[in-house]
Each structure stands twice: as structure tokens, then as C-alpha cells.
Chains A and B, each alone.
Chain A
Amino acid sequence: MTRIAPAVSGVAADGDWFEMPVPDNVVFGEGSFLYSSYALLHFRSRHPVGLRLGRQTGVYEGTQFCLGPNGQVHIGDYCTIVATVFSTNSEVVLGECVMFGYGVIVSDDPFGRPGAADGRPTAPIVIEDNVWVGARSVLLPGASIGRDSVIGAGSLIDGPVPPGVVMAGNPARIAARLT
């Protein structure tokens, strides 16, 4: 499967198997990578910058940005995002050097679905620098993960996570301190 590299706003990238132009409100940093415009199948954001990828950030196979009209996802520099679903009509912010494992779901609604355009604004979801989120974790409104922390696979996070800890489980608890 051909991939978009480097990604460019406002055009259908050369060789992208999913022939859909990338909307102008998707902004790519230098050296960033989006596997295909298929990631934007459910992208309905009308925000001036609905999706921003920082420099040298990679967004890989299976990732989907399901954004309502007010949705914004801003991803910092040097991030790696694998097969993650972002489903929101609110704001999701990732810092730099953030890694997301397979099957993570970031949603503004515990019963989330794409196209819920009437979704009420919810608390932003904020992931600080150098956070690693394990496979199949679920991040819900109010999730605010402090820098350097690790979220164990399959965890459910809907509140603050302090910096420098390992947090895991459903409900999640602090499993270890890293600093």
C-alpha cells in the first residue's frame, strides 16, 4: 500500500491509494508522515486548524481522525501514532515525543461515534511531552496525562495522571513511579 510522504495540505498526495484530497485545515509539519488520506474518512472539522501534525511526526496505518465541526487534534513534534482513533468534537492536544500503541481510542464520549456533529463541548484531552500510551487504552474527556508518564495497555483514563508515573487498569491506578 502506497503511503503519503511527505504529506501536503490541500492536495491528493501522489500515490495515495485513497484518492481524497487532504482538507486545507490539516497542517503538516516538516518531515511528518500520514499513511493515507483514508485517515480523514470521517474528518468533518471546520476549525481553522482541525488537525496539526508537528515536525517529524508519523501517523501510521489504521489511524482515523473522526472529528466533528468543532473538533481539533493538535499533535506535537516527534510523535508516533499507530492505529489510533481520535473521535471528538472538542480539543485533543499531544505534546512532543508522544507514542501511542495499537488500538488506542481517544474519544469525547464514552459511547463515541463519528458524525456526532451535535456533540457538546467536553473537557480537552491533554497529553504532555514524552508520554507513552499502551495498546488498546481508552482516553476520555478530562484525561490529562503529565509528562514522562506511561499508560499501561488496556487502561481507561478519564482524569488527571501525574507526571512520571506508570498508570494502568480499569479503573486506572498508579502502578509505579518513574521519577
Chain B
Amino acid sequence: MASPTVAELNGTWDYATLPTNVRLGRGVYLERRDSFARIRSTVPDALVLGDDVQVLTWTEFSIEPDASLVVGDRAVLVGAVFMCAHRIEVGPDVVISYGVTIADCDFHPVEPVARRQDAMAVVPGGDPSQRAPIETAPVVIGPGVKIGIGAIILKGVTIGAGAQVAPGSVVTRSVPEGAIVAGNPASPAPQP
């Protein structure tokens, strides 16, 4: 792949060149064009970004063929890698810091026989029709949530409004509104 141009890295590229199923609000800032290179979804609203959303250089949207992702107004996505197989919702005024991963799916079965079949199906020359059915569960990140550096959010998690996820946390269960969670697996942190 050719090296990106300067414009493709500093947000001055032509956003109209994005696929038509990427819908942009007013005043969005999309820094690196390649953040959008792995959108494989064909649904009409594969990726919806609200007004004044910022998508910075470390962010990646990987959106599977039937999946969709919506981001609320004024959200700041610094370094979020979204692995979206079905549905991820990010509320307004959310801040997602550097090195964060958010996935609504485990992508492969745990059970060994099914996993071996899946491994064979995904290799070069494999038959993708033989892939195991994958379980997905939407991820919902509520308004004003802050997600710290390097955190990982896994499938089926809802993070309530105003909650904070401490840096380095691995969030496997839903987080109540206003809570602060930390650790792996994440649990309520002592209030400061």
C-alpha cells in the first residue's frame, strides 16, 4: 500500500470520499483516512458520527458486513479500535483515550472442535462458509463516559452514563451509571 499523503493524516482529506453508508454530522474532524479502511458493512447506516465528533489518528473502525456503529455528538475518539460484528453505540460527550479496544464479539468459538473448524475456515484458501456461527452482544457506552488508556471493553457490556473506566481495565460486565471501575476483570474501584 502506498504511503499516506500528509492530507490523509492531518484531517484535511476529502471526507466525501468515504462510503455512502458512513454518515457524518456537522463539524466532524476525521484525522487519518485509513481509520475508515476496514468498514466492510453494507447496511445503510454502517457508521454514523454525530456533530463535532473527533476521530484521531490511532482509531480504527473494523465493521463486519451486517454491523453498524453509532457515535454521539461531541465524542472524542483518540485511540479506539472498534471490532464491530453487530452493534456498538457510543453516547454523546464520551472520551475514549489512547490504546482502547472495544469488541461486541469474541470472533471465534471457545469450544475446541468448533474453533479448529473456524481456524481452518479463516486461513488463506479456507472456505469462509464453514465459519462457526459467532455470538455477538451489543456494546453500549453511555453519555459522558470516560474510558482510560489501554482499557478493553468486551461484548455485551453497557457502561452507564458518566461512568469512568480506569486505565488498563478489562471490562467484562456492565458498569452502573456514575461508577468507577478498574482492574482485570474490572470491578468497582475505591472512590477517591
Residues of A within 8 A of B (CB): 1, 17-20, 38, 41, 64, 85, 87, 103, 105, 107, 109-114, 136, 138, 140, 154, 156, 170
Residues from chain B with a CB closer than 8 A to the CB of A138 are 99, 149-150, 167-168
Is B146's beta carbon under 8 Å from chain A? yes
Residues of B30-68 contacting chain A, CB below 8 A: 56-58
Q: How far is the CA of A1 from the CA of B166 in the complex (A)?
A: 36
Can you pick out 6 interface pairs between chain A and chain B where the beta carbons lie within 8 Å of each other? A1-B3, A18-B6, A112-B97, A112-B98, A113-B76, A154-B150
Q: How far is the CA of A136 from the CA of B78 in the complex (A)?
A: 16
Is B183's beta carbon under 8 Å from chain A? yes
Chain A interface helix/strand/loop/mixed: loop
A20 engages B56 (CB within 8 Å): no
* Closest Cβ–Cβ distance, residue B105 to chain A (whole Å): 22
Residues of B within 8 A of A (CB): 3, 6, 9-10, 56-58, 76, 78-79, 95, 97-99, 146-150, 164, 166-168, 183-184
A154 engages B149 (CB within 8 Å): no
Q: How far is the CA of A105 from the CA of B58 in the complex (A)?
A: 12
A136 engages B150 (CB within 8 Å): yes
* 8 closest cross-chain pairs (CB), A and B: A170-B168, A113-B78, A110-B148, A111-B146, A156-B168, A110-B167, A111-B97, A138-B149
Q: How far is the CA of A113 from the CA of B57 in the complex (A)?
A: 11
A110 engages B149 (CB within 8 Å): yes
B97 engages A110 (CB within 8 Å): yes
Q: How far is the CA of A87 from the CA of B95 in the complex (A)?
A: 15
Residues from chain A with a CB closer than 8 A to the CB of B9 are 18, 38, 41
